[in-house]
Structure 1
Amino acid sequence: MDKWLMYMEIHQLRKKGFSISKIARKLDIARNTVYTYLQRDPEDMTEWLASIRTRSRKLDPHKELILTWLKYHPDMSAAQVFDWLKEKDNRLMVGESTVRGYVKELREIYHIERTHPTRSYQAVQDPPMGEQAQIDFGQTKQKASNGKEVKLYFISFVLSNSRYKYMEWLDRPFTTRDVIRTHENAFEYFGGIPNELVYDQDSLIVVSENSGDLILTSEFQGYRQERDLNLRVCRKADPESKGKIENTVKFIKKNFAKHRVFHNLDQWNEQCLEWLDRTGNGKIHNTTKKRPAEVFIEEKQHLRPITNKKTFHNKMSITRTVRKDNTILYQSNRYSVPLGTYKKDKMVYLIITDDGRLVIHDKAERNVIADHRLETGKGKLVQDRNHTRDRSRGIPEYISHLAAKFNNPDQANDYLENIYHGYPRYIRDQLQLIRRTIEELDEDLMNQAMEECIKKKLYSANDFSDVVEYLKRQRLLNTNPKPPSPAVHPIKSLNDADESILLAKPSVRDPKEYEELFKGVVI
C-alpha cells in the first residue's frame, strides 16, 4: 500500500475508535508502524515522504541483481538473497532484516509473489551438549554449466544442541563405504564423536529394525563396533524425532543448492564448505537465536575425543576434474599433476592405496601420471617437483641441451636461436613443445623435419610440429602406395558399318520441283 494512503487509512480507523492492535491486524502492519504514523501530522508526513524519495539505500546498487534473482526464482527466500549477496561481496555491511525488508518491498512493487509450503512439527526438548547428532541423506537436481541437468546426492550431519552442521556431496548414489568415510570426515570436522547418532531407516545402514534390536549392514556393523557408536533409528513417519536434521536437509536444499549452477564436484564441495562457514554455521539460528559456530565452541568440549584416528582409504577408483593450475582436489587438499595435463573438462582417476598413497591415473590412457603421499590436513598443496617448470636451467643451456639431440647440433642451435629471437617471451613454451614433439620421433624423422624447416625458413615450434605431421603422412603414403590405375581402352562402336555411311548427308531438292507439283492445287 502507498505510504500516504496508509497514513490516511490509519487516521480514519483511529477516529472510528479502532485500537492500535486492530488497526495493525486490519492493515497487516506492525503496531510500531501504526504508532509512528499516528504521531505525525500531515505536514511532517509530507516532509518525510519527500526525504525518503531522495534518500539512497545500501541495497540500491544491488537492486537489478536482486530483481533478476526474484524474477527467475520467484520462490527464493530473503535469507537466500542475503546469502547470495554475501557470497558476491563479503564486504557488504548490511543486516539480514534490511535485506528482508528490501526484498518484501521489491515483491510488492513488482508484484512478485512467493508461495510458502507448510509442514507441522511438534517441539522437542534439546538434548544436552555433546549428547546427540542426527544424520540424513538428500538429493537434488541441479542445472549444470553445460545446460544439462544433473542429479546430486548428499549426506548431512547436525549436532542437536548447537545446530552445528556438516555435509558432503557425491554425483552418484552413496555406498556403505561412502557413509563410513563421511562419518570419519564429520567426526574430524566436529573434533569428536557424539554420544548418540540418530538415523532414518536407510538401507545403507539398517537392514531391519526388528522391534528395537537393530540389524545393520555387515560393513556398517563392523564400523559401529570399531568406533563403539551408540545408534538410534527413527520409526517410519515420525518426523518430530529427527526434526533438526529434516530442517537441515531442507535448509541445504533451499538456501545452498537451489538455483546454484553445478560445474564439477570438487568446486561444489568447496562452495559447500564456504557456505557452512558463512551461513550454515555462521548465521543466527531461527529457533535458538544463537550462531551455531559460537555455541559449538562450548559443545565441542562435551564430545568424546577421537582416540584412535581411523585412516579410511577408498579402494574404489574415483574421478576428479583437473583444475587450471594443474592440480586436483581431494579432501580439501590440492595434489599436483604434470604441467600441460589441464584441458577443459579433463578427468583423471584417483586410487587410494593401503599404504596411504594417492595415485592419479589418466582416464583415457590409464597410465600413472602422479603418485603422492596422502595429506591428512586441510588446505595444503602437495606438489611433485617434477610437475613444476625447471627454472634452474637458463634458456641458453636449455637450447644447447635440446640442440644436442639432433645430428647437426650447430645447425639445430642456430635454428633454435632464431625461434628465440622471434618469440622471446614464449621461448620456454616453444622449446618445451619441440622437446615433446621429438620425444616421440626416430632420429631420421626429427632431423629431416629440422632440415625442412630451415630450408623453408619456418622458425616456430608449431611450424616444426606441422612439418613433422606432414612428413609422417608422406612416409605413410610411401609405405602404402596407391595401386596402379587400370588401363583405359577406347570404346568400340556397336555398329560394324563403315564410318563413311555415318558421315553421309541426304540429298536436297530444288524448290522449283515442288512448285511444279502444286500447280492447279486449291488451298
Structure 2
Amino acid sequence: MDKWEMYMEIHQLIKKGFSKKKVAEKLGISRSTVHRYLKKNPSDMSEWVDSLQSRSKKLDPYKELILSWLREHPDMSAAQVEDWLKEKYEDFKVGESTVRSYVKELRDEYKIKKETSPRIYEAIPDTPMGEQIQVDFGHTKQKTSDNKEVKLNFIAFVLSNSRYKYKEWLDRPFTTQDVIAAHENAFRWYGGIPGELVYDQDSLIVVSENGGDLILTQEFQQYKESRNLTLRVCRKSDPESKGKIENVVGFIKHNFAKHRVFHNIDSWNEQGWEWLNRTGNYKVHHTTKKRPVEVFSLERQHLRPVTKNLDVKYNYETSISRCVHKDNTIRYLSNRYSLPLGTFGKYETVCIKKTEEKELIIYSHETGEIIAKHTIPDGKGLLIKDRKHSRDRTKGIDAFMDTVAQQFNDSEIAYDYLQTVKDKYPRYIRDQLQMILKETKVNNREILSAALNECIKRSLYGATDFSDVVAYLKRHRQVGDTVHDTAENVTHIKGVSGWIMETEAQKREVDAYTAILEGEPV
C-alpha cells in the first residue's frame, strides 16, 4: 500500500467511527503514523509525497546491490544486509535503523516477502563480570564457489556479562584435541580465564553427569586439571541455563554464515574473526543496549590471567565422535560400519580412530574399551559388517535366566542350577524357564529355596521335577514349621518315583463310564 492509499484508508476508517488505535491495528501501522497522516490535508499530502519522490536517500547508491541480495536470499535480515555492506565498503557509515527502514521499503516496493522461522528465548539474569563463559557447538551447510555443498562445524564462546564472543570453524567434525585447542585460542582472545565454563552435554567433553559429579573424557579431564578449570554442565531439557550461547549460535548462523560462499577453511575463519570485530562484538546488543567490546574492556580485568602457554598439540589422543544408530551401525566417510548388537542401547555415541593401515577402530570414550575393528574399504555407500555382530540368539535366554534366578534367595546358586537345566534341555530352555518362573510367582522364597536345594541334592534338573518338589514340600509343610524342618521331612525321598507312589488317581465305578457313553449326565 503506497502513501496515498494509506492516507485515504486512514481517513475513511476514521469517518466510519474507528478509533485511532483500532485504525493503527487494522492497517498494521503505529498510532503516531495515524496522527501524522490525519494532520495533513490533501494539498499538504501531495507536496509531501512529491518531496519524497524527488529526495535522494543515503542507501540509494547501494539499491541494486541490496535488491540483488534480497531477491537471491528472501530470508535475509536487515542486520545481515548492514554487515555485508560494512564488509564490502570499509567507509560505510549508516545507522542501523536507516538500513532497517530502507530494506523494509524495498521489500514493500518490490514485493519481496521475508521468510522467517522465529524462535522464542527466555531472558537470563546477568552473572557478575568475569564469572562465566558459555560454550556450545553448531554447524551449517554452505555453498562453495563451484556450487557444491559442504558441512562446516564451529565452536562458540560468549562471556555472560559483556556478551563478548569468540568462535572457530572446522570443515570436519571436532575432536577432543580440537576442542582443547579452541579453548586455548579463546583464552588468548579474551586475555584470561573465567570463574566457570558452562557446557551442553557434549560427548567430546562430558561422559556423564553422575548425579552432579561430572565424569569427563580422559583428554578433557587432563586439560581441566592442567588449567584448573571449573566446569558446569547444563541438565537435559534445560536450555535456559545457556540461553546466551544459544542466541550467539543463532546469530553466527544467520548473520555471518547465511548465504556466504565458502572457499577454504582458513579464509572462512579469517572472515569470521573480522565479522566478530566488525559486527559480532561491535554491534549494540539488543538486551544490554551496549556494545560488547566496550563492556569487555571492563570485564577482562576480572578474568584470571593465563599464567603459562600450554602446548596441546601432542598431549592428547585424537578422538572423533560418531552417533550410534538404531541398527547398531555408525557412519564414516559415506559408509556404514557394524557394531555388536545391543550397542545402541548401551552407548549414544562412540569414538573412532583411523590407523595408518587403513583400519577403523571404534571404542568407548568412557572406558577406552575397543568395541569393533573394521578395514576401511574403497568406495562409498557400503555396509561393512563383522560376522560376530550378527544376532546372538542366546542373549535373550541369558537375560531370562537372570530374571528367574533373581527370584531366589541365593541368585548365584539358582543361576548355576538354571545353567545345568539349559545344558540338559537346550531346545526347550525357554519353556523350562517359563515353568519355573510360574512357580516363583505363587510360592514364597522359603519354599523355593528348599525346593532348589533338594533338586540340586537329588540331581533333579528340570522344570517338572522342580514343580513336583515344590508341590511335595507344600503338602508336607505344617503350620509353624520352619524351612529346616520341611527339608528334614523329605530326606527319605529317593527320586521322582516317590512322588508318583504317594499320588492317588481318582477312581470311578464302571457304571459311570457306561452312563457317559450313553449320553447320560454323571
Where in structure 2 are the equivalents of 1:280-429 lying within 5 Å?
A: 280-313=280-313
Instruction: Determine helix, strand or coil for the equivalent of 1:116.
Output: coil
Instruction: Give the drift of 1:317.
Output: 13
Which residue does the alignment assign to 1:227?
A: 227
Q: Distance in 2 between matches of 1:57 and 1:47?
A: 18
How far off its partner does 1:122 sit? 2.4
1:230-269, aligned counterparts within 5 Å? 230-269=230-269
Give the residue type in structure 1 aligned to 2:187.
F
1:121·1:239 contact (CA, 8 Å) conserved in 2? Answer: no
Q: Deviations over 1:258-279 (max 9, x none)?
A: 1111111111111001000000
SS of 2:100's equivalent in the other structure is helix
What amino acid is aligned across from residue 149 of structure 2 in structure 1? E
Which runs of no fewer than 5 residues in structure 2 stay unpaired? Answer: 319-522
Number of aligned residue pairs: give it: 318
1:361-385 superposed Cα distances (whole Å, 9 cap, x missing partner): xxxxxxxxxxxxxxxxxxxxxxxxx
Trace 1:25-424 onto structure 2 (pairs within 5 A): 25-313=25-313
Check conservation: 2:136, 2:156, Cα contact below 8 A. yes
User: Which AA in structure 2 matches 1:251?
Assistant: F
**SS of alignment partner, residue 70 of structure 1:** helix
Aligned to 1:515: none
* TM superposition shift of 1:9: 1.8
Deviation at 1:291, TM superposition (A): 0.8
Tell me by how many angstroms 1:316 deviates: 10
Distance 1:18 1:127 in 2: 48
Q: Distance in 2 between matches of 1:44 and 1:121?
A: 45
SS of alignment partner, residue 92 of structure 2: coil
Looking at structure 2, the residues matched to 31 and 200 of structure 1 have their Cα atoms a distance apart, in angstroms, of 44
Deviations 1:415-438 (A, max 9, x none): xxxxxxxxxxxxxxxxxxxxxxxx
In the alignment, residue 296 of structure 1 is paired with which amino acid?
F
In percent, how many aligned pairs have the same letter? 69
Report the counterpart of residue 8 of structure 1 in structure 2.
8
Deviation at 1:314, TM superposition (A): 5.6
Q: Which residue of 2 aligns with 1:461?
A: none
Structure 2 counterpart SS, 1:133? strand
Give the match's secondary structure for 1:98: helix
CA deviation map 1:217-265 (0-9, x unaligned): 0110011111111111011222111111111111101110111111111
Offset of residue 315 of structure 1: 8.0
Structure 2: how far apart are the matches of 1:87 and 1:315? 39
Alpha carbons 2:157, 2:166 under 8 Å: kept: yes
- List per-residue Cα deviations over 1:146-185 (Å, max 9, x = no partner): 3221111110000111110000111111111111111011
Asked if structure 1 preserves the Cα contact closer than 8 Å seen for 2:177 and 2:317, the reply is no
Greater mean deviation of Cα atoms: 17-26 or 148-157? 17-26
User: Residue 220 of structure 2: SS of its match in structure 1?
Assistant: helix
Q: 1:117 to 1:147 in 2, by over 3 A?
A: closer
Structure 1: runs of 5 or more not aligned:
319-523
Quick one: distance in 1 between partners of 2:314 and 2:115? 43
Instruction: Between 126-135 and 13-22, report the one with greater CA deviation.
Output: 13-22
Q: State the distance in 1 between where 2:116 and 2:287 align.
A: 18
Local SS of the residue matching 1:4: helix
Larger Rg: 1
Q: Corresponding residue for 1:346? A: none
How far apart, CA to CA, are the structure 2 residues paired with 1:68 and 1:17?
Answer: 43
For residues 185-240 of structure 1, the C-alpha deviation after alignment (integer angstroms, 9 at most, x for no partner) is 10110111110100010111001111111100011001111111111101122211
Q: How far apart, in 1, do the equivalents of 2:44 and 2:63 lie?
A: 29
CA deviation vs aligned residue, 1:472-515 (integer Å, no higher than 9, x gap): xxxxxxxxxxxxxxxxxxxxxxxxxxxxxxxxxxxxxxxxxxxx
The residue type paired with residue 208 of structure 2 is: S
**8 Å CA contact 1:127, 1:160 repeated in 2:** yes
The separation in 2 between residues aligned to 1:222 and 1:44, in whole angstroms, is: 75
Query: How many Å separate the matches in 2 of 1:282 and 1:56?
Result: 29
Cα deviation 1:303-332 (Å, max 9, x = unaligned) = 1111223244368999xxxxxxxxxxxxxx
Please tell me whether the aligned partners of residues 219 and 317 of structure 2 are also in contact (alpha carbons under 8 angstroms). no
Cα-to-partner distance string for 1:370-418 (whole Å, 9 max, x where unaligned): xxxxxxxxxxxxxxxxxxxxxxxxxxxxxxxxxxxxxxxxxxxxxxxxx
Provide, for residues 455-485 of structure 1, a one-character-per-residue CA deviation record: whole Å limited to 9, x for no partner.
xxxxxxxxxxxxxxxxxxxxxxxxxxxxxxx
* Distance change in 2, residues 1:187/1:101 (3 Å): same
Give the Cα–Cα distance (whole angstroms) in 1 for the partners of residues 20 and 126 of structure 2: 37
- 1:293 & 1:39 partners in 2: Cα distance? 44
Take 1:296 and 1:219, find their aligned partners in 2: how far apart are those partners? 31
Aligned-partner residue type, residue 134 of structure 2: Q
| Residues 220 and 16 of structure 1, relative CA distance in 2, 3 Å threshold | same
Distance 1:280 1:231 in 2: 25
Quote how far apart the aligned CAs of 1:103 are: 1.1
Q: Distance in 2 between matches of 1:58 and 1:279?
A: 20
Aligned position for 1:21: 21
Relative to the length of structure 1, the TM-score reads: 0.59
SS in 2 for 1:283: coil
1:240–1:60 Cα change, 3 Å: same
Give the secondary-structure state (helix, strand or coil) at the position aligned to 1:286: coil
Contact 2:219–2:316 (CA<8 Å) still a contact in 1? Answer: no
Aligned counterparts of 2:79 and 2:201: Cα–Cα separation in 1: 31
**Residue 345 of structure 2: aligned partner:** none
Q: Displacement, 1:104?
A: 1.0
For the residues of structure 1 that align with 2:90 and 2:35, how far apart are their CA atoms?
Answer: 36
Q: TM-score, normalised by structure 2?
A: 0.59
1:405 corresponds to which residue? none
Q: Which amino acid aligns with 2:248?
A: T
What is the match of residue 510 of structure 1? none
Q: Which amino acid aligns with 2:158?
A: V
Tell me how far 1:61 sits from its aligned partner: 1.4
Q: Distance in 2 between matches of 1:143 and 1:315?
A: 35
Letter in 1 for 2:207: V
C-alpha distance in 2, partners of 1:317/1:282? 37
State the distance in 1 between where 2:157 and 2:136 align: 7
Q: Partners in 1 of 2:233 and 2:211 — Cα distance?
A: 11
Kept in 1: contact 2:124–2:244 (CA 8 A): no
